[in-house]
Amino acid sequence: MNDADSVRISRTLRQRMMVDHLSGVTAATAAELAALTGMSLMTVHRDIDDLARRGILRKFHGGVSVLPTTVFESSSEFRLQTQTIAKSALAVVALGMIEPGMSVMIDDSTTVLALARLLNNVGPLTVITNYRQAIEEFRDNDDIRLIVAGGQYSRTHDSFIAMPGYSSVEAYAVDLVFQSTSTMGDSMTYHQEQEIVLMKRAMLHSGTRRVLMMDASKVGRTSLHHYVPVSDFTDVILTDDVDPEMVERIAQHAAVHLAPVGAAD
């Protein structure tokens, strides 16, 4: 591969390759990252400088290292590039729960964004969201009554976030809330950021039916902060590559729906 191939490999995907690699090693040199991506040293140095400015990588004499995963996992830009097939499969199952005329609340997860991209074809809906990417999906659709929730804009999350009591979401009672989160066990869910935990909780309590969408990479793991027990959700949609024993344990707390990951190919 050479720099001419950069037309086919976006800057975001290239940088994600670098971050993924650095997550599994202590550090790397620019030359190693150039070999990994097939790009020139000059291009790699530009990528390193960009990632360092955004607080994702740390530069030091002779190489670079990645900052804690909580930093880059927060970035909407990077999350959009991960598990795309699984997210599409989850979205197809979630779409089956929605009927025209319903009110739906969706959070700022890129997993739920995959569902948002399907909602324009459903018909009349009321959609409440704090995620700018989702707002863009609906802005030109006259069949979607779009309500924007939240508070201060977060560039990292590309969403609007407010502390409890300062967000408009508490004022709504919707048919369905769709969420995802960082990780989950068989009885508890987790997120790496406290401010997002508080916002998600406020949104969750607005729904009659509360649906969690999780791919296999998020299941059987923990993050820094407890979010809510799995039993706070009425439904959990999992990709079908989750360990069957884990699926059975989760099913003790909420109705489980499996999404075939091959269905979105």
Question: What is the per-residue pLDDT across 131-177, written as a single tens digit (0 to 9) for each?
Answer: 999 999 999 999 999 999 888 888 778 898 887 655 678 889 999 99
Query: With a threshold of 0.85, does the pTM exceed it?
Result: no
| Per CATH, domain 3-67 is 1.10.10.10 | yes
Query: With 70 as the cut, is the pLDDT of residue 28 above it?
Result: yes
pLDDT band of residue 45 (cuts 50, 70, 90) is very high
Segment 94-116 shows an average pLDDT of 96
CATH topology of domain 82-264: Rossmann fold (3.40.50)
Residues of the chain with CATH 1.10.10.10: 3-67
Q: Retrieve residue 98's tokens.
A: 């929605």
Segment 59-66 shows an average pLDDT of 84
Q: Retrieve residue 138's tokens.
A: 């609906």
* Alpha-carbon span 236 to 214, nearest angstrom: 8
Instruction: Report pLDDT for 265.
Output: 45
Rounded percentage of the chain residues whose pLDDT exceeds 70: 85
